[in-house]
Amino acid sequence: MKAVTVSNIRKSFKNGKAVTEALRTVSLDVEQGELFGIIGPDGSGKTTLFRILTTLMLADEGTATVDGLEVVKDFREIRKRVGYMPGRFSLYPDLSVEENLTFFATLFNTSIDENYDLVKDIYSQIERFKTRKAGALSGGMKQKLALSCALIHRPTVLFLDEPTTGVDAVSRKEFWELLRNLQRQKITIVVSTPYMDEAGLCDRVALMQQGSILDIDSPQGITGKFSRQLWSARTEKMYDLILSLREMQGIVSCYPFGQVHHVVPEKDFNITQAQDKIRAMGFPDIDLAPIAPTIEDCFMHLMNHPENRMTAGRNNEH
Amino acid sequence: MSTNTVISVKDLTKRFGSFTAVDHITFDVKPGEIFGFLGANGAGKTTAMRMLCGLSLPTAGEATVAGFDLYRDAEKIKQKIGYMSQRFSLYEDLTIRENIRFYGGIYGLSNQQIKDKTAEMTRNLKLGKEVDSLVKSLPLGWRQKLSFSVAMVHNPRIVFLDEPTGGVDPITRREFWTLIYEAANKGTTVFVTTHYMDEAEYCNRVSIMVDGRIEAMGSPGELKGKYEADDMADVFLKLARGAKRSDN
């Protein structure tokens, strides 16, 4: 049995005359015990998908199951089994840390003591503040408390909606380490994030953009499918270089990528020839080098080339 | 102020009671430089930036921003800087044209200048008819580019960007950085505070604050070399893991 199945789910929202298609025929499966990432910017449909899977919202079309149960028919049973950490801080700010956790445990007919082993790793880090009001915690600690509350009833599937947004690099790293430890307890984890660099920390990821899935695969699988050459480019005059390369014959795209630009050339464009040509264009110090694509390169390529998306074929059938 | 510093800070300190939020920080920023100001939550970034923007008086130390002294000429500093944050930037219930007029008015632009700026932004951002639609109806990516342009409406010498590119798709994000490069290329200094380390890679130089002090400063390349790190996230983790305080 799959931990989660999503089959041809569609959902749109009406706001006056405007219709927003939040999910446009989305399908995916999550294996049991998997750490599955949904990677996409704001507005890609991540939260809508989570709300449908946690039975808080009905899809317009399509079917979905969680832990083998159907999201519409079996919503009561699903609610007992899933843990959900929404994107916005969802705890009671005027209850203390311990009162929040006790409250969520009581809702599910359990207690902190009964499931302490499951939350111990996380809760022990904030336990010394257990009398502090949740509203007065730092971002990193709020996040740990919210995760403890989502876990206290020993869920089989855990849905985490952007748990690392707005959190600093140290807390982000610690949070991903906690998720890896949780996975060892045989909990399936579905986590969404707008940070492409977190994709590599998941077993498999779905890349989402404007309600559609661009690709689903392991991080290595996604980068392995990048079928173009990719070069890094560097010079003293980085801004001028963007403008020149975007006008240049044989260059498909050029984007700034931190200290270098990433350049996608036409398939048969030779790097030595390109280097000579760019040098002659007024960049005597140009340094071109072939590089391996990151998830972000792949995401951008799929945005620019819809024909390469996994859902391209499927959409045509409808 | 010499001609090649636009921000000059020496031993700048801010105490709140017995708590030293910013502890003797010293640095210079050059015109046209993209300067990244990094630190974990609670490291003192926001307090330092509020002082540099003329919003909060230092307890001790010296600083000039755009040639003006932080203690004596805070109001003049405010006229020479622009500010954009991810959270607050534009009025959603005003149209784009109205936002430009509003901010242009605040910064003392004439009606003709406001008209010219509106035309210039419409052209540069390829807005067309959307210039008369409400900001809230625009996609996030456009809003970000627009709020950057609005922060630049009075041609400031320095623009402060507070976590500018969260949440947008990777292409929009790079279009945004291209705008930043363009501004820096024309001589505007860009001061970016962020805790997203991949944004730090775009800066000419970065400083990293830990517990109120600047623990490291240099180009991303120099810092990666010095701390034997693959990327800026790694540099940051090596420095910030030793932090004593967070924002609790």
Report yes or no: B192 and B36 within 8 Å, Cβ to Cβ: yes
DSSP state of A294: P
Separation of alpha carbons B167 and B170, rounded Å: 9
ipTM: 0.86
Contact check, Cβ <8 Å, B248/A170: no
Q: Which CATH architecture has domain A4-224?
A: 3-Layer(aba) Sandwich (3.40)
The mean of the pLDDT values for chain B is 91
Res. B248: pLDDT tops 70: no
**Alpha carbon B43 to its chain's center:** 17
Res. B242: pLDDT tops 60: yes
**Alpha carbon A108 to its chain's center:** 28
pLDDT digits (tens, 9 = 90+) for A119-159: 998 999 899 999 999 999 888 889 899 999 999 999 999 99
In A, minimum Cα distance to B242 occurs at A170
The percentage of chain B sitting over the pLDDT mark of 70, rounded to a whole number, equals 96
Cα distances from A38 to residues A4, A30, A50, B8, B66, in angstroms, run: 13, 11, 10, 44, 44
Question: Nearest 5°: CA angle at B158, between A243 and B178?
Answer: 20
Chain B contact set for A209 (CB, 8 A):
169
Res. A218: pLDDT tops 90: yes
Domain boundaries, chain B: 7-240
User: What's residue A312's pLDDT?
Assistant: 47
Closest by alpha carbon to B190, among B199, B198, B180, B200? B180
For A52, the token pair is: 């449908």
pLDDT digits (tens, 9 = 90+) for B159-194: 999 888 777 899 998 999 999 999 999 999 999 988
Q: CB A61: neighbour CB atoms within 10 A?
A: 12
Separation of alpha carbons A54 and A48, rounded Å: 10
Q: How confident is the model at residue B40 (pLDDT cuts 50, 70, 90)?
A: confident
Closest by alpha carbon to A315, among A111, A16, A21? A21
Domain boundaries, chain A: 4-224, 231-292
The percentage of chain A sitting over the pLDDT mark of 90, rounded to a whole number, equals 83
Chain B contact set for A126 (CB, 8 A):
none
Separation of alpha carbons B150 and B155, rounded Å: 10
Contact check, Cβ <8 Å, B181/A256: yes
Q: How confident is the model at residue A315 (pLDDT cuts 50, 70, 90)?
A: very low
pLDDT digits (tens, 9 = 90+) for A21-46: 999 999 999 999 999 999 999 999 99
User: What's residue A313's pLDDT?
Assistant: 42
pLDDT (mean) for B3-32: 95
Contact check, Cβ <8 Å, A139/B247: yes
Those residues of chain A whose CB sits closer than 8 Å to some CB in chain B are 40-44, 129, 136-141, 165-171, 173, 194-197, 209, 238-240, 242, 255-259, 296, 299-300, 303-304
DSSP A229-291: --EEEE-S-HHHHHHHHHHSTTEEEEEEETTEEEEEE-TT--HHHHHHHHHHTT-TT-EEEE-
pLDDT digits (tens, 9 = 90+) for B102-149: 999 999 999 999 999 999 999 988 888 889 999 988 888 888 889 999
pLDDT digits (tens, 9 = 90+) for B50-83: 999 999 999 999 999 999 999 999 999 999 999 9
User: What's residue B166's pLDDT?
Assistant: 75
Report yes or no: A153 and A125 within 8 Å, Cβ to Cβ: no
Q: CB B101: neighbour CB atoms within 10 A?
A: 19
Q: CB B123: neighbour CB atoms within 10 A?
A: 10
* Residues β-bridged to residue A265: A251
Burial status of residue A158 (CB atoms within 10 A of its CB: 0-12, 13-18, 19 or more): buried
Res. A317: pLDDT tops 70: no
Chain A contact set for B41 (CB, 8 A):
138-140, 167-168, 171
Question: In this structure, which topology does domain B7-240 adopt according to CATH?
Answer: Rossmann fold (3.40.50)
Res. A213: pLDDT tops 70: yes
For B44, the token pair is: 């003192």
User: What's residue B246's pLDDT?
Assistant: 58
pLDDT (mean) for A167-184: 88
Please state whether B190 falls in left (phi above 0), alpha (psi between -120 and 50) or beta. beta
Res. B39: pLDDT tops 70: yes
Chain A contact set for B247 (CB, 8 A):
138-139
As a whole number of Å, the end-to-end CA separation of chain A is 27
CA distance A197 to chain B (A): 9
User: What's residue B87's pLDDT?
Assistant: 66
Q: How confident is the model at residue B197 (pLDDT cuts 50, 70, 90)?
A: confident
CB within 8 Å of A93: residues ≥ 6 apart: A133, A134, A135, A136
For A163, the token pair is: 């748990």
Chain A contact set for B181 (CB, 8 A):
238-239, 242, 256
The 3-state DSSP composition of chain B as helix, strand, coil percent (nearest 5) reads 40, 25, 35
DSSP state of B26: E
Give the full edge-to-edge strand order of the sheet including B60-65: B19-29, B7-16, B60-65, B68-69
Separation of alpha carbons B241 and B247, rounded Å: 14
Separation of alpha carbons B93 and B70, rounded Å: 34
Separation of alpha carbons B156 and B7, rounded Å: 13
For A149, the token pair is: 């509350």
For A311, the token pair is: 């859902």
pTM score, whole prediction: 0.89
pLDDT (mean) for A238-265: 95
Q: CB B117: neighbour CB atoms within 10 A?
A: 21
Closest by alpha carbon to B170, among A209, A296, A193? A296
E strands in A119-218:
157-161, 188-193, 204-209, 212-217
Closest by alpha carbon to A147, among A132, A131, A134? A134
Chain A contact set for B248 (CB, 8 A):
129, 136-138, 141
The mean of the pLDDT values for chain A is 93
Q: How confident is the model at residue B3 (pLDDT cuts 50, 70, 90)?
A: low
User: What's residue B2's pLDDT?
Assistant: 52
Q: How confident is the model at residue A222 (pLDDT cuts 50, 70, 90)?
A: very high
The minimal CB distance from A258 to the residues B202, B241, B247 is found for B202
The lowest-confidence range among A158-167, A205-214, A257-266, B23-32 is A158-167
CATH code of the domain occupying A231-292: 3.30.70
Those residues of chain B whose CB sits closer than 8 Å to some CB in chain A are 40-42, 139-140, 166-172, 174, 177-178, 181-182, 184-185, 195-198, 201-202, 220-221, 233, 236-237, 240-241, 243, 246-248
Between A171 and A303, the more confident residue is A303
> What is the β-pairing status of strands B19-29 and B7-16?
antiparallel
DSSP state of B189: E
In A, minimum Cα distance to B236 occurs at A169
Which one of B33, B34, B37, B41 makes the best mutation probe of the A interface by having the most chain A beta carbons within 10 Å? B41
Separation of alpha carbons B203 and B191, rounded Å: 9
Closest by alpha carbon to A112, among A156, A145, A78, A159? A145
pLDDT (mean) for A84-91: 88
User: What's residue B88's pLDDT?
Assistant: 62
In B, minimum Cα distance to A170 occurs at B237
* Residues β-bridged to residue B158: B81, B189
In B, minimum Cα distance to A297 occurs at B170
pLDDT (mean) for B196-217: 92
E strands in B53-188:
60-65, 68-69, 81-85, 158-162
